[in-house]
Amino acid sequence: MEYIKVNSQVEKHVALIELNRPKALNALKIELMTELKETLIQLDEDDSVRAIVLTGNARAFAAGADIKQMAGKGAIDMFNIDQFSTWDRIKKTKKPIIAAVSGFALGGGCELAMLCDMIVASETAKFGQPEIKIGVIPGAGGTQRLTRAVGKVRAMEMVLTGRFISAEEAFQAGLINKVVPVELYLKEAIKLAQKVAEMSPIAIKLAKEAVLQAFNTSLDDGLLLERKNFYLAFASQDQKEGMNAFVEKRKPNFIGK
């Protein structure tokens, strides 16, 4: 792989994906996104992996879609390239993905972090949707996911002016889970992934699907999916193990079956 590095067992049951285009601040060229999509498909199928951490480096998580790759394109080129179908496939990843963000998370970089299920950031992280400054608008979910996360007026300000927000502001706004010193952001993200990886992998997937449904549906339809997933969990050995372990006052040993 040219643009990303993968360690499928950085800790027990936790995979780590590092975006690896440091000179271009991890700008998300199409080939990088294709590698990321294929890696996530593989990790989703790998039973030894229960949670995934996605990171960049201390200077940049990702500074957005690759402007140099897009600059000369027309609308029909963009339509035919259909780069966002890759994003649509990434969105279907069943296992939880935790973004470990330091430095720039801008444009598509901010959108990629928001496509993840949780975000741990370093104090140096900067989130923004600066597409307006280059004559376009967010194209990978920025107007939708950011608005749902931080509310209309703050999203509007970020999208219409391109203002970056600090990790602390992002935390206060509810965009991210945690802010830690720069030397700790990756460790903390892996720690959070480990915590998730200790749970039943089946329940985790059912729960992720149900929470994401809240963004797509009416309350009644969301509650219906939640109820079905709740019942489905009772078909797993992990449900028996989890409840028996509680009754027997011991730690459960989930096997993902």
Write out the catalytic residue numbers: 65, 108, 111, 131
Among candidate residues 81, 118, 112, the one with its CA nearest the CA of residue 98: 118
Asked if 8 contacts 49 with a C-beta cutoff of 8 angstroms, the reply is: yes
Q: Which of 14, 54, 64, 170 binds ligand CAA (CB under 6 A)?
A: 64
Q: Which of 90, 101, 125, 140 binds ligand CAA (CB under 6 A)?
A: 140
Of 130, 170, 135, 145, nearest to 25 by C-alpha is 130
Q: Give the three-class secondary structure for 71.
A: coil
Tokens 């995934």 locate to 52
The correct pick among 139, 222, 242, 256 for binding ligand CAA (CB under 6 A) is 139
Check if the beta carbon of residue 129 is closer than 8 Å to that of residue 138: yes
Distance CA 83, CA 103 (A): 25
159 touches ligand CAA by CB under 6 A: no
Query: 156 or 245: whose CB is closer to ligand CAA?
Result: 156
Work out whether 252 is an interface residue with ligand CAA (CB under 6 A). Answer: no
CB 225, CB 213: distance < 8 Å: yes
174: tokens are 């509810």
Q: Which of 18, 35, 66, 188 binds ligand CAA (CB under 6 A)?
A: 66
Closer Cβ to ligand CAA, 87 or 254, answer by number: 87
Which residue number, 16 or 40, has a Cβ lying nearer to ligand CAA? 40
**Interface positions with ligand CAA (CB under 6 A):** 24-25, 27, 63-68, 104, 106-108, 111, 130-131, 134, 138-140, 142
